[in-house]
Amino acid sequence: MLYIDLHCHSRYSDGLMAPADLIRRAAANGARALALTDHDETGGLAEARAAAAELGVAFIPGVEISVTWRNHTLHIVALRFDPDNPALQRGLAAIRDGRVERAQRMAAELDRQGIEGSLAGAQAHVSNPRMIGRAHFARFLVERGHAKDVKSVFKKYLAEGKPGYVAHQWASLSDALEWVSASGGVAVIAHPGRLNVDDKTLCELFTEFKELGGSAIEVVTGSHMTQQYGQFAEYARRFGLAASVGSDFHGPLESMRDVGVLPELPAGCVPVWRDWTEVQTAGTSSPQSPPAG
Ligand code: AMP
Ligand code: MN
Ligand code: MN
Ligand code: MN
């Protein structure tokens, strides 16, 4: 197993746990290195970093940026950037503002389905007033008995093509990659296996991503089926991209994989953390061991 997790969510976006609790859970699972990657939001990084330092877990700043590429929503995980970078923060703030406007249109659609009060209902599940998403609507709809769990509510109402879904224009891929490089980070295509596109389109995406300075694709993720690990390892190899791993953990009952520990990358992958010294050295010195001398 790998005790590295470069994709998970806290209450600063649509996760269920506070950043410090998330880090404690990851550490208890054996994590050596962790990136918190809230959607379009870096507000939880300081708390996570402090908790990680206390527990001797290497901490990597992260964020999952919502992008529109052609007509598809694409998630770009940015890692190891400077969270104080103004260009990055301006970009993320604009995406979050778009989320507020989208939430109003989602609520209007749900109204037409006879489901009233969903905006206020979703807001009651929001813990960071700067960030609202479909997961908050999903939790409201489950609470009202419209489906048995979050997964089913997406299938019935919130997934693309369903009655509560509204199209939305996120950031462009080139803008997102510009913010990542301006802030000194690396860009990873999150869970490419969830993109509903053919092989030719995927190849065009990987080519364009690489040309724009992108570094890696997520190969092992809680959002891929096990059979997809090999498939995306092969894409990574073909396009000269590194490979990343992440649980995409949101909370104990809402996620495929727990936070902090993941299966190994398939043979031949170049890990995105290959040159990251803080990850290389993590776990070789225990925070519990007495100071030397
Ligand atoms: P948003 O960025 O607001 O459109 O919401 C995307 C988030 O919704 C994802 O990060 C997941 O947390 C959640 N989500 C999307 N699709 C599903 C699904 N089929 N089942 C459960 N959660 C989902
Ligand atoms: Mn999410
Ligand atoms: Mn995602
Ligand atoms: Mn995610």
Model's pTM, two decimal places? Answer: 0.96
pLDDT digits (tens, 9 = 90+) for 180-224: 999 999 999 999 999 999 999 999 999 999 999 999 999 999 999
Mean pLDDT of the chain: 96
Report which protein residue has its CA nearest ligand 1's atom 21.
151
179 in contact with ligand 1, CB cutoff 6 A: no
Report how far residue 141's alpha carbon sits from residue 54's, in angstroms, rounded to the nearest whole number: 38
Ligand 1 atom nearest residue 168's Cα: 4
Query: Given its phi and psi angles, is residue 221 left (phi above 0), alpha (psi -120 to 50 degrees) or beta?
Result: beta
Strand-strand pairing, 186-189 and 72-79:
antiparallel
Q: Which two tokens stand for residue 177?
A: 């990659």
pLDDT greater than 50 at residue 293 = no
Across 110-118, average pLDDT:
97
The answer to whether 72 and 197 are in contact (CB under 8 A) is yes
Cα–ligand 1 centroid distance for 175 (angstroms)? 23
**Predicted pLDDT at 59:** 98
Q: How many CB atoms lie within 10 A of CB 200?
A: 8
C-alpha distances (whole Å) from 158 to each of 80, 150, 249, 250 are 32, 10, 19, 17
